[in-house]
Amino acid sequence: MNFLAILTILITMLGAFFYGNGIITLKSSPSFIGAKTPEIKPLVTSNDISKTDKYELANENIAVEKLRFVLGTPNGMTDWEEKALAKKTSSYILSEFEGKPCVKGVSENGASSMIKKCDIPRTVANFVSWNWFVEKFPERKKEERLNTKEEFDFAGQVYLVFYSKFFLKTKAIQYVWTETLPVETISDNPYTNNVKIIVLESGKSETWKHEHRNFVKDYEMLFEEKMDTHIQAVAFMTDSDSTGSTAIAYYGDFTFETEELKQIYNKKDIADITDDSNKNNKIDTNNENGFSEWFINTFFRKGEE
């Protein structure tokens, strides 16, 4: 890592401190077609969540909720922020695949991610679900690996970033779709041990792939400690700058739900009643520190040698 990279980290840390304490306000500049440029707020409540689905159990007085971040609409991406990770960025555009609205990520020798800050307490959700599809994998000259910086490109990537009071301890799970590596392969991210990688899909597919992960169990398995924190950001990325090639992937909505909701799914048929105006259940989002911003800007990026 050269002097310029070290200076960049120091400046980013200082900016994160000011940002987290409300001294400065950032604005995003996403290369997303149809997206407006929003003001990035340090706190997010349930009112900012793109969509809330309410489920009622037939013949039982039970009501549960799940949080859904809708991607495939113009308004769905307005509160996502793009992070450039290379001189050339990826592009993220509204698209449709197999009749489902989605976001298409295209990287041509570039790298950038789309990040949504969203404090989600463990009491609100412990499962995350989404659909995705990889159309084109990066072209490699060497064997595909998770633990090396060389050719560290993946067509499909989803990140969960977890809040920490101390920025050096901020952790993240990186779910990836690889071309050749076995499913459930795990590894440290080559840039930091605070990011753990899990392979969820491997090889080509002709259709959407659906993921449904207990991220609490994943966290505790990967970091070998009890998860006593909450999700502070969700991100997805398609990149190909390390291989100098092209990668293409599609991303559907992200859904967060509880164990109780999953059990109800397995037990009974549920009537899906969408209630976009339901704003009664607020999410407590006490986030007095902005250190995860520093984490995203340093370890979530590729950095320089």
**H/E element, 117:** strand 111-120
pTM, whole model, 2 decimals?
0.72
pLDDT band at 14 (very low <50, low <70, confident <90, very high): very low
d(CA 236, CA 247): 14
CA distance 215 to 69: 17
Q: Which two tokens mark 241?
A: 């700058």
Minimum mean pLDDT range among 32-36, 143-147, 237-241: 32-36
Q: What is the DSSP letter of 138?
A: P
SS3 state at 261: helix
- Written as six digits, the tokens of 3 are 């002097």
Give tens-digit pLDDT for 107-135.
999 999 999 998 898 888 999 999 999 99
Place of tokens 């980290």: 9
Region of 17 on the Ramachandran plot (φ > 0 left; ψ -120 to 50 alpha; else beta): alpha
Q: Six-digit token pair at 154?
A: 């993946």
pLDDT, tens digit, 9 for 90 and up, residues 143-185: 999 999 999 999 999 999 999 888 788 999 999 999 999 999 9
Which amino acid type is present at position 239?
Answer: D
- Complete domains list, the chain, with CATH: 3-298 (2.60.120.260)
